[in-house]
Amino acid sequence: MTILGCGAAAPTPSFLTTSQLVNIHNNLILIDCGEGTQLTLRKNKAKFQRIKSILISHMHADHTMGLPGLIASMNLLGRKSDLDIYGPEELEQMVRKVWHLTGTHIEFEVHFYVTCINAPSIIIDESSYTVKSFPTKHRIPTCGFVISEKKDAYKLKPNIRKRYRLNHLEIRKLKRGEDIEKDGELQVNSKFCNPPDSERSYAFVSDTSYSQKVVNEVANCTLLYHEATFEKRDDKIAKKTLHSTSEDAARVAKEANVGSLLIGHFSNRYRDLSTLLNETKEVFKNSELSQEGKTYSLN
Kindly tell me which of 12 and 194 has the beta carbon lying closer to a second copy. 12
Cβ(86)–Cβ(55) below 8 Å: yes
Catalytic residue of the set 62, 207, 234, 248: 62
**Helix H segments across 160-202?**
160-163, 168-175
188 in contact with a second copy (CB under 8 A) = no
Three-state SS at 98: helix
69 in contact with a second copy (CB under 8 A) = yes
Known catalytic residue at 62: yes
Burial class of 205 by CB neighbour count within 10 A (0 to 12, 13 to 18, 19+): buried
11 in contact with a second copy (CB under 8 A) = yes
**Helix H segments across 56-190?**
61-64, 67-76, 90-101, 160-163, 168-175
Kindly tell me which of 68 and 264 has the beta carbon lying closer to a second copy. 68
87 in contact with a second copy (CB under 8 A) = no
30 in contact with a second copy (CB under 8 A) = no
Cβ(17)–Cβ(11) below 8 Å: yes
**Minimum CB–partner distance for residue 169 and a second copy (Å):** 56
* CA-to-CA dists, residue 267 to 54, 232, 257, 276, 285, angstroms: 24, 13, 26, 10, 22
242 in contact with a second copy (CB under 8 A) = no
- Which residues between 135 and 154 bind a second copy (CB under 8 A)? 139-140
The DSSP code for 150 is: P
* Residues engaged in binding a second copy (CB under 8 A): 9-13, 16, 35-36, 38-39, 42-43, 59-61, 64-66, 68-69, 72-73, 76-77, 90-91, 93-94, 97-99, 101-104, 139-140
Catalytically active residues are: 62
